[in-house]
């Protein structure tokens, strides 16, 4: 039986989108560890199917999460190597799963739950965000509006709240930033609001909304487009999807 207080997270960084997403999820790793949770952090070249399966077998983590490219049926790791796919996700039985990945909430998420996964949070459409600079998204003046709702899921689960609590707290944070940007005079505000609403409405929860990864008492408490004339002056819009990877691969890697 999966062990409360143990987490396996996968953080590939082999392209621009996963590079930035991996940096953001580093905050989740730090926070969960600060709450007394053991985290097996499969970063960079360790973000592979073999490493994930070994981690789940070794630690029997109650929570599997990560960033990665995806489609309706498949979640990938470093260099887009498939990690889990529809009809091949039995290893997630009994676990809470959250995937920061495009489209995996459409078919893969329901399949995980149908095969015994406790609960699944993810996105049934592309996850898209807007960012001004290639920096930690949580320090970017625009991107933080997209990543704070994501972090809210990790933080609430680490604090012993249920999957349903975490999902609702995330939606509340989406709504906060939608309201904030709706009141701004910035010329890109309407675009930001449009994408915030898109991501909020694409976020789904399946399975047991009362599932937890830890109990409070136990704690110590736009498809694949970069629209940029220069990376320092113009916003970039990056979804976590497979489509268009070839075009992205031709672009210089962020330093």
pLDDT score at 54: 98
DSSP string, the chain: -PEEEEEEEEE--SSHHHHHHHHHHHHHHHHHHHTT-EEEEEEGGG-SHHHHHHHHHHH-EEEEEEE--B-SSEEE-GGG-EEEETTB-GGGTT-EEEEESTTTTTTHHHHHHHTT-SEEEEESS--EEEESSSS-GGGSTTTHHHHHHHHHHHHHHHTT--HHHHHHHHHHHHHHHHHHHHT---TTHHHHHHHHHHHHHHEEEEE-TT--SS-GGGS---TT----SSTTTS-EEEE--STTHHHHHTSPPP-
Q: Give the pLDDT confidence score for residue 238 in this predicted structure.
A: 56
Query: Does residue 254 sit within a domain?
Result: no
Given this model, what pLDDT does residue 216 score? 78
* Domain annotation covers residue 255: no
Q: 142: which 2 tokens?
A: 């625009």
What CATH number does residue 168 fall under? 3.40.50.1460
The candidate with the shortest Cα–Cα distance to 81, out of 46, 40, 112, 126, is 46
pLDDT of amino acid 114: 98
- For residue 50, being part of any structural domain is answered with yes
pLDDT in tens, the chain (255 residues): 899 999 999 999 999 999 999 999 999 999 999 999 999 999 999 999 999 999 999 999 999 999 999 999 999 999 999 999 999 999 999 999 999 999 999 999 999 999 999 999 999 999 999 999 999 999 999 999 999 999 999 999 999 999 999 999 999 999 999 999 999 999 999 999 999 999 999 999 999 999 999 987 544 433 333 322 222 233 445 555 444 333 333 444 333
pLDDT at 227: 29
Contact criterion met (CB below 8 Å) for 38 and 6: yes
pLDDT score at 215 = 85
Residue 36 lies in a domain: yes
Q: What is the pTM of this model?
A: 0.87
Q: How many domains does the chain have?
A: 1
Classify strands 38-43 and 203-207 as parallel, antiparallel or unpaired.
Answer: unpaired
Residue 64 lies in a domain: yes
The domain of 14 spans: 3-249
Q: What pLDDT is attached to residue 240?
A: 56
Q: Per the domain annotation, does 120 fall within a domain? A: yes
């Amino acid at each position: 039986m999966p062990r409360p207080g143990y987490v396996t997270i996968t953080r590939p960084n082999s392209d621009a989108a996963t590079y930035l997403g991996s940096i953001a999820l580093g905050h989740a790793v730090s926070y969960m560890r600060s709450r007394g949770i053991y985290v097996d952090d499969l970063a960079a070249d360790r973000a592979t199917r073999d490493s994930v399966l070994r981690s789940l077998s070794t630690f029997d983590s109650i929570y599997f999460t990560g960033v990665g490219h995806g489609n309706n049926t498949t979640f990938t790791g470093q260099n887009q190597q498939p990690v889990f796919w529809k009809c091949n996700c039995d290893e997630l039985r009994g676990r809470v799963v959250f995937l920061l990945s495009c489209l995996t909430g459409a078919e893969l998420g329901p399949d995980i739950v149908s095969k015994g996964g406790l609960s699944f949070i993810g996105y049934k459409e592309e996850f898209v965000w807007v960012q001004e600079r290639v920096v930690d998204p949580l320090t970017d003046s625009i991107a933080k509006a997209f990543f704070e709702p994501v972090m809210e899921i990790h933080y609430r689960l680490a604090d012993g709240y249920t999957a349903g609590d975490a999902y609702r707290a995330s939606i509340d944070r989406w709504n906060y930033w939608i309201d904030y940007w709706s009141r701004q005079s910035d010329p890109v505000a309407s675009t930001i609001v449009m994408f915030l609403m898109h991501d909020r409405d694409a976020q789904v929860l399946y399975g047991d909304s009362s599932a937890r990864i830890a109990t409070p008492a136990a704690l110590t408490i736009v498809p694949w487009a970069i629209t940029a004339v220069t990376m320092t002056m113009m916003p970039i819009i990056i979804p976590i999807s497979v489509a268009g990877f070839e075009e992205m691969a031709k672009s210089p890697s962020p330093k």
